[in-house]
Amino acid sequence: MPTESRLTTSAQIFVEHDHRACSKSAMEAAHKLCSTRGLRLTPVREKVLELLLESHGALGAYTILEKLASAGFRSQPPVAYRALDFLVEHGLVHRIEKLNAFVACNKPQAGHAPAFMICKDCHQVAETHGKSTSGTLGRTARAIGFDIQETIVEAEGICAACREV
């Protein structure tokens, strides 16, 4: 298995879907979000997002940097990191802490608290959405007067495909 595993976002990982349409839809949503918020999706930012959408998975910064260089962009680490910082800050990309990798958000137009399910065997990742203010965590936070501003949940387990093997 390569050092960096191929990872996939969204619950669609487990069902057949039109990947091209999925990627196109996510890129259109990113353009709309940037336009609405008055943000600039520079060529390098757009290319980084496109790379993540094409892979339909999580990539490490250095893999992104290599792919940027292959596409004719400058190959200095700050180039990739600045683009990733922008994309993460504006909810177009998520950082998977456990894997030290980045993944395109499958619903960038929706404010959400993402939760990631990471398969320990195949290392695929599924993104799901929730609200940090609901459920046990939200009730506990309210009870102690804590204002949750951000949550990131990364759960490890075994996916259905790996369980069947």
pLDDT of res. 31: 92
* pLDDT above 90 as % of the chain: 30
pLDDT of res. 58: 79
Residue 68 tokens, joined? 């940027």
pLDDT of res. 160: 84
Q: How confident is the model at residue 5 (pLDDT cuts 50, 70, 90)?
A: very low
102 forms beta bridges with 59, 95
pLDDT of res. 50: 93
Q: Give yes or no for residue 87 having a pLDDT over 70.
A: yes
Q: How confident is the model at residue 14 (pLDDT cuts 50, 70, 90)?
A: very low
Arithmetic mean of pLDDT over the chain: 81
- Residue 128 · residue 120 · CB < 8 Å: no
**Extended beta strands in 67-123, E state:** 93-96, 101-104, 113-119
Reported as half-sphere exposure (CB side, CA atoms, 13 A), residue 55 has a value of: 24
How many contiguous H segments (helices) and E segments (strands) does the chain have?
6, 5
Report the SS3 class of residue 17.
Answer: coil
Question: By mean pLDDT, which of 9-13, 16-20, 95-99, 142-146 is the weakest?
Answer: 9-13
Q: Give yes or no for residue 6 having a pLDDT over 50.
A: no
Q: What angle do CA 13, 14, 19 make, to 5 degrees?
A: 40
**Sign of the C-alpha dihedral computed for residues 99, 88, 29 and 70 taken in this order:** negative
pLDDT single digits (tens) 21-68: 778 888 898 999 999 999 999 999 999 999 998 886 678 999 999 999
Domains of the chain, with CATH numbers? 11-164 (1.10.10.10)
The pairing of strands 153-157 and 113-119 is parallel
